[in-house]
Amino acid sequence: MGKKITDKVTWVGKVDWELTYFHGHEYSTFKGSSYNSYLIRDEKTVLIDTVWLPYDKEFVNNLKRETDLKQIDYIICNHSEVDHSGALEELMREIPDTPIYCTANGAKILKGHYHKDWNFVTVKTGDTLDIGSSKLTFIEAPMLHWPDSMMTYMSGDNILFSNDAFGQHYATESLFNDRADNCELFDQAIKYYANILTPFSRFVTKKIEEVLSFNLPVNMICTSHGVIWKDNPVQIIEKYLEWADDYRENRITVIYDTMWESTRKMAEAMAKGISGADPSVTVKVINASKEDKNDIITDIFRSKAILVGSPTINNNLSHAIGGLLEMVKGLKFKNKKAAAFGSYGWSGESVKLLNERLRSAGFELVNDGIRSLWVPDEDEEERLINFGRDFAEALK
């Protein structure tokens, strides 16, 4: 059922309480998600975005309870990824001639997905659509986070329909940010930014500056996932500007994998050394094979530096650390430092390999790393504590 947002705008999306993974298994969504779609009823009736494919029939049936589908004058497709366009086919079967407003890239991608010659109307930044007492203005937002992404601004109600930007994978019945659990909300918002938007931070900054330069009043930001920012919507814009600016907190994360506990002992000793040297720093120790990969990425995003450890296995790294570093490389973190560590018995290549991987992922190496042969004893533990201390000192 729809939920009224203003006299003219109704939320007609889907809250997905059960979603645990997104983008295949690339992104964990332990707090569910939502696919937000909006129906505007002015002199013209406009639908903004749809929902993910598994909910296409439910979506269209619910939409029919809100309006006669034939009354829909325009469909706005802010972004063609299937979580927002998935119900288009089901909808267009009923209203095949309704114009779909999207960017030129959006039209290409929608054709590539659905292979239909729908009535696409391509728009650019600054193009407008009069819908009665309100006007829609389109703002292209390429690489936030796909080449086709755009936002739509509605005058009168002063709503920015931002699509993925400012969203979170967070299921909530109450819809508005001031009614959500704000600890959960911001945890999910930063996780979303860290895991999805980090590589596009330069575009984020430029786009926000451009939108702010329009001096448009913004009463609400209606995202395509999670809450609607109604209470002080500027707060999430400010957070995005902060996160896009090579974000780092006074935090060091020690990430490791271990076979027979030696690399774990190394990690714990080094964490001791770090906190001894710098009581102001937050230190977190994570076993990469036991913690969720996207939560680890969020910790890396928040850290000024990381220590990464793996035992040597078959002249290589453990799969948990190897896989994690592949993700880290793709996210193109900036302004972060690192060092490597690992236990070994025979060949002991892990630290050399970690150094190569960290360097190619854009991290500045603080030193050459440290290796421990077999199981650390008390003397070795002292050496590792000192390594952690020196690492923390080098970051001051």
Does 115 qualify as catalytic in the annotation? no
Q: Out of 16, 56, 74, 145, pick the active-site residue.
A: 145
Does 377 qualify as catalytic in the annotation? no
**DSSP H or E run through 320:** helix 319-331
Task: Give min distance, CB of 273 to ligand FEO, in A.
Answer: 42
Return the number of other C-beta atoms located less than 10 Å from residue 284's C-beta: 16
Return the number of other C-beta atoms located less than 10 Å from residue 113's C-beta: 15
Tokens of 275: 């906190």
Does 164 qualify as catalytic in the annotation? yes
Euclidean distance between CA atoms 321 and 159, whole angstroms: 43
Task: Give min distance, CB of 81 to ligand FEO, in A.
Answer: 4
Tokens of 201: 């931070």
How would you list the strands of the sheet with 228-229, edge to edge?
128-130, 135-140, 150-154, 159-163, 220-223, 228-229
Does 192 qualify as catalytic in the annotation? yes
Euclidean distance between CA atoms 62 and 122, whole angstroms: 28
Nearer to ligand FEO, 104 or 143 (CB): 143
Q: Contact at 8 Å (CB) between 102 and 120?
A: yes
Task: Give min distance, CB of 196 to ligand FEO, in A.
Answer: 8
Nearer to ligand FEO, 81 or 380 (CB): 81
Q: Out of 164, 268, 299, 390, pick the active-site residue.
A: 164
Nearer to ligand FEO, 84 or 265 (CB): 84
Nearer to ligand FEO, 167 or 376 (CB): 167
Task: Give min distance, CB of 194 to ligand FEO, in A.
Answer: 15
Q: Quick one: CA torsion of 384, 390, 392, 396, rounded to 10 degrees?
A: 180
Residues lying near ligand FEO in the complex (CB under 6 A) are found at 79, 81, 83-84, 145-146, 164, 224-225
Q: Out of 38, 74, 170, 192, pick the active-site residue.
A: 192
Q: What is the DSSP letter of 140?
A: E
Helix (H, G, I), strand (E, B) or coil at 338: strand
Q: Out of 38, 90, 153, 225, pick the active-site residue.
A: 225
291, burial (CB in 10 Å: exposed 0-12, middle 13-18, buried 19+): middle
Nearer to ligand FEO, 81 or 278 (CB): 81
Nearer to ligand FEO, 79 or 207 (CB): 79
Euclidean distance between CA atoms 118 and 109, whole angstroms: 12
Euclidean distance between CA atoms 283 and 273, whole angstroms: 10
Euclidean distance between CA atoms 194 and 188, whole angstroms: 10
Compute CA distances 323 → 182, 234, 275, 306, 368, whole Å: 31, 36, 28, 16, 22
Q: Out of 42, 49, 81, 299, pick the active-site residue.
A: 81
Task: Give min distance, CB of 83 to ligand FEO, in A.
Answer: 4
Nearer to ligand FEO, 285 or 327 (CB): 327
Q: Out of 35, 42, 79, 349, pick the active-site residue.
A: 79
Does 319 qualify as catalytic in the annotation? no
Tokens of 171: 């299921």
Task: Give min distance, CB of 82 to ligand FEO, in A.
Answer: 8
Task: Give min distance, CB of 17 to ligand FEO, in A.
Answer: 17
Does 169 qualify as catalytic in the annotation? no
Residues known to be catalytic: 23, 79, 81, 83, 145, 164, 192, 225
